Amino acid sequence: MFKDIEHLIRLAVVIVVLLAIFVVLRAAVVPKSFGQYGHYRGAAIAEAAARPIAFAGHDVCEGCHTDVVEQKKQGKHVVVACEACHGALAKHADDPTSVTPPKLDTAVVCARCHEANSAKPKGFPQVVTADHSGGIACDTCHQPHKPKIEEQKAEVKPTGKSRTEGKN
Amino acid sequence: MDITRRRMLVLLPAAAVAWKYVQAGTPELSPNYKLSEHWWSMLIDIPKCIGCGSCVRACAEENDVPDGYFRTWIERYHVADWKIERPEVESPNGGKQGFPPNEISGGKNFFVPKLCNHCADSPCTQVCPVGATFVTPDGVVLVDKNYCLGCRYCVQACPYGCRFINPKTNTAEKCTLCYHRITKGLTTACCEVCPTGARQLADLKNPEDPIHEFLRTHNVQVLKPHMATGAKVFYNGMDGSVR
C-alpha cells in the first residue's frame, strides 16, 4: 500500500529517539523533590530549616542565669529579652565556658532605646543623654537588669527625672 | 572563555556533581514539625516601636545579611499637619544604628518596621520563571538559592520592595521569617530581640495563639491592601499615610 513507507519509519524512529532523550534528560535533570508540594523543589524547605541559629532565645538563657531572672522580675526590663542587649549568644549557650559574651558599654547600649526622639511613643522613658548624664556610663547609677533607682540608695542620682525629661 | 573540548570535559562532570548536590538536598524537617499545622504571620504594633534598630541588627546577624542590604528595616515617618498625603520618610542605613534626633518638629512622627509580608497570593512567586521562589504549605515565602537564576523578576514584582540580589551569591534574597528558627519552636530573631514587643510572630492555625484575640479586639491593617496580595504582616495603629 505505502510503497515509500521507509522514510516515514525513519522519521518515526528519529522522533522516538528524540522523545527518549528528552524523557531521560528530564528524569536526570529535574530534582526528585520538584513538585512535591507545588511548582518548586520540595527539599528546599528542609534546606531553609537546616540553617544554624545565632540567637539562642531567652528561655535558654534563663535556664542557667536564674539570678538575673529574679532581678529582672522586679523591674520594667522583665519584658526585654537577654539577647536584645547582650547580642546573639547561641554559641555561648552551646559552650558556656569557652565562649563568653563581651562586657557591654551601657553608655551605648542604653541610649539605643532611651535616647530621646520625637518619633518614639510618648509614654516611653527617654532622655537626652548629654543633658541627663553628661556621657558617664548609665550603670553608674542604674542597674540595667532593674533600672529604677531606689530612693534610699540614690546618693549619686543626677536629676531623678529620667522618665519625664527630654520628651517632645 | 572559549568552550574547547578539553574545558567541556572538565565542566561536564563538575556540572553533574553540582546537580547531584541540588537533587540530594539536606536532612528532613524536624520530626515534630508538621507543615500543614501552621500558617505563619507577623503582628506589628506601630505605637510600641521605638526605632532602636535591634530587629535590623539581629536579622543581619542571624541571617548573614550583607551590609547595605536589608531583610527588615525601619522607616521613620514625619507627617506635617498640612500635607498628610506627602509624608517624609527616612531610613538611614535601614535604621540599623537607630535614628538621629528628629530635626523637624511638629506634625506627627512615628516608626514603621517593614519586612516581607509573606503574602498568600504573592506576586513575587508568580513571576519566577523557574520555580525558585514559592509559598510553603505553612505560609512562608522562601527562595531556593540553589535554583534561583538571579533574573530579578521577583525583585521587581514585590510591591513592598522586600527583595534584593545578594551580591555574593547573585541570587534573590529576602526575609525567611527565620524559617530555621520557627520550625524549631523558636521565634524569629527580630521578634526575640524587640524590647517593646512591637513585633510578634503569630501562627494563625494555632487556636492558642494570642493573635486571634488581638485581631478580634483591634483594628489592624496590611500594607497596600488594594494590591490584593494576601499580605500576612498585620499592622496595628497604622496611619493612613504609610505606604
Element (H, E) at B221: strand B220-221
Alpha carbon distance B225, B236 (integer Å): 14
Per residue in B2-46, pLDDT (tens digit) is: 777 777 777 777 777 666 655 554 456 777 899 999 999 999 999
Confidence of residue B243 (pLDDT cuts 50, 70, 90): confident
Lowest mean pLDDT across A1-5, A51-55, A68-72: A1-5
Tell me which residue in B23, B29, B48 faces A45 most closely, judged by beta carbons. Answer: B29
Mean pLDDT of B89-108: 88
> Is residue B187 predicted with pLDDT exceeding 70?
yes
Confidence of residue B229 (pLDDT cuts 50, 70, 90): very high
Mean of pLDDT over chain A:
87
Per residue in B34-81, pLDDT (tens digit) is: 999 999 999 999 999 999 999 999 999 999 999 999 999 999 999 988
Confidence of residue A168 (pLDDT cuts 50, 70, 90): very low
Q: How far is CA B104 from the centre of its chain?
A: 30
- Closest among B133, B138, B120, B40 to A39, alpha carbons compared: B133
Tell me which residue in B99, B137, B197 faces A79 most closely, judged by beta carbons. Answer: B197
Query: A80 CB near a chain B CB, below 8 Å?
Result: yes
Interface test with A, best of B38, B44, B46, B62 (most A CBs within 10 A): B62
Compare all CA atoms of chain A with the CA of B26 and give the residue at the minimum distance: A47
Residue B168 near residue B176 (C-beta atoms within 8 A): no
Tell me which residue in A41, A54, A113 faces B52 most closely, judged by beta carbons. Answer: A113
Alpha carbon distance A138, A150 (integer Å): 15
Per residue in A68-123, pLDDT (tens digit) is: 999 999 999 999 999 999 999 999 999 999 999 888 988 889 999 999 999 999 99
> Is residue A167 predicted with pLDDT exceeding 90?
no
Q: Which residues of A touch B33 (CB under 8 A)?
A: 49
Q: Taking CB atoms and an 8 Å limit, are A119 and B77 in contact across chains? A: yes
Mean of pLDDT over chain B:
91
- Length of chain B in terms of residues written: 243
Per residue in B101-135, pLDDT (tens digit) is: 877 778 899 999 999 999 999 999 999 999 999 99
Compare all CA atoms of chain A with the CA of B197 and give the residue at the minimum distance: A79
Residue for cell digits 545565632?
A54
Q: Which residues of A touch B110 (CB under 8 A)?
A: 119
Mean pLDDT of B218-242: 95
Interface test with A, best of B193, B196, B199 (most A CBs within 10 A): B193
- Closest among B217, B31, B178 to A48, alpha carbons compared: B178
Question: The pTM is what?
Answer: 0.84
Tell me which residue in B19, B50, B180 faces A121 most closely, judged by beta carbons. Answer: B50
> Is residue A162 predicted with pLDDT exceeding 60?
no
Mean pLDDT of A29-36: 92
Three-class secondary structure of residue B110 per DSSP: strand
Interface test with B, best of A91, A117, A131 (most B CBs within 10 A): A117
Domain ranges of chain A: 5-49, 52-102, 103-168
Alpha carbon distance B183, B200 (integer Å): 16
User: How high is the ipTM of this complex?
Assistant: 0.82
Q: Which residues of B touch A112 (CB under 8 A)?
A: 52-54, 98
Confidence of residue A163 (pLDDT cuts 50, 70, 90): very low
